[in-house]
Amino acid sequence: MLAEGELRSLLEAVRQGSLSVEAAMQRLSQPAVAELGYATLDLQRAQRCGFPEVVFAEGKTKEWIEGAVRRLREAGQDCFVTRVNEEQARHLAACFPEAEQDRLARTFWWPAAGERPAPQGRVCVVTAGTSDLPVAQEALVTARVMGAAVEMIVDVGVAGVHRILRQRDRLAQADAVVVVAGMDGALPSVVGGLVSCPVIACPTSVGYGASFGGLAALLTMLNSCAAGVAVVNIDAGFKAGDIAARIARRAAGAAPVPAPRSTPTDPACSSP
């Protein structure tokens, strides 16, 4: 079922002659899900949540990912895949050479045909160290794909706090800041004391033994004394970038996704 606002736009397009009756019928007959045998794709997530379903590549065969991408394209939807390994990346590049891949972020991005709207809202991604870059790049690519303008500030951890203090003007221009840090995980508290916008803290598994694979950073961030800091899971660059883009776009005046008139029967909105 289309959301009320999208259905109205569809009918207006038919009335004005910019969309054929056949194209409108095809859109209205779009199924709620696509059953692939190995996956059940949610084809109405864009109507509910503002962006199509995202494919999490970890643990999936390259053929499964290829099949999911092909089905999303058949439905006229954007295709975004995260945590793509080297074997999967080579296979996807051979199948879909038009798509964009970022090997640092481990992402695959193939937008639907047509002109993309201008970015709305500003997201700044900050890393405590260079070793945090893979997770930070996943956050940056995700925020860009989700429609926000993005920039990165790299290697400004609390071991040299003057480095982040030099970036206060850039931070002040952001609608949302993602802070990616491992080891002691202290940087989000510092940034949270410098900006008025929300800060999304993303702990990484970077660090020596007592960091416990990112658990130490996670606990530090959860105990932040800065009021404007919220925390995502360890190494969850996608989640941090997604949340930051939603905040930034809304802050910039992006229209919310209209709520459907009735409760849809497909699964609730979730991470990939």
Per-residue pLDDT reduced to its tens digit, 50-108? 788 899 999 999 999 999 998 888 888 889 999 999 999 999 999 999 999 999 999 99
Q: What is the pLDDT of residue 28?
A: 66
Q: What is the pLDDT of residue 32?
A: 74
Measure the CA–CA gap between 148 and 155, rounded to whole angstroms. Answer: 22
Q: What is the pLDDT of residue 255?
A: 60
Judge if pTM exceeds 0.75: yes
Measure the CA–CA gap between 12 and 5, rounded to whole angstroms. Answer: 11
Measure the CA–CA gap between 34 and 47, rounded to whole angstroms. Answer: 15
Alpha carbon 263 to chain centroid, angstroms: 25
Measure the CA–CA gap between 161 and 155, rounded to whole angstroms. Answer: 11
Q: What is the pLDDT of residue 134?
A: 97
- Domains along the sequence of the chain with CATH: 32-110 (no CATH), 122-251 (3.40.50.1970)
Q: What is the pLDDT of residue 29?
A: 63
Side chain identity, residue 209: G
* Per-residue burial over 33-62, b = 16 or more CB atoms within 10 Å of its CB, e = otherwise: bbeeeebebbbbbbbbbbbbbbbebeebeb
pLDDT in tens, the chain (272 residues): 555 556 677 788 888 888 788 777 766 666 677 777 788 787 777 777 778 889 999 999 999 999 999 888 888 888 999 999 999 999 999 999 999 999 999 999 999 877 778 899 999 999 999 999 999 999 999 999 999 999 999 999 999 999 999 999 999 999 999 999 999 999 999 999 999 999 999 999 999 999 999 999 999 999 999 999 999 999 999 999 999 999 999 998 866 654 444 333 333 333 34
Structure token pair of residue 120: 């709305």
Q: What is the pLDDT of residue 270?
A: 37
Q: What is the pLDDT of residue 26?
A: 65
Count Cβ atoms below 10 Å from residue 109 Cβ, excluding itself: 18
Sign of torsion over alpha carbons 143, 125, 234, 90: positive
HSE-CB for 44 with a 13 A CA cutoff: 21
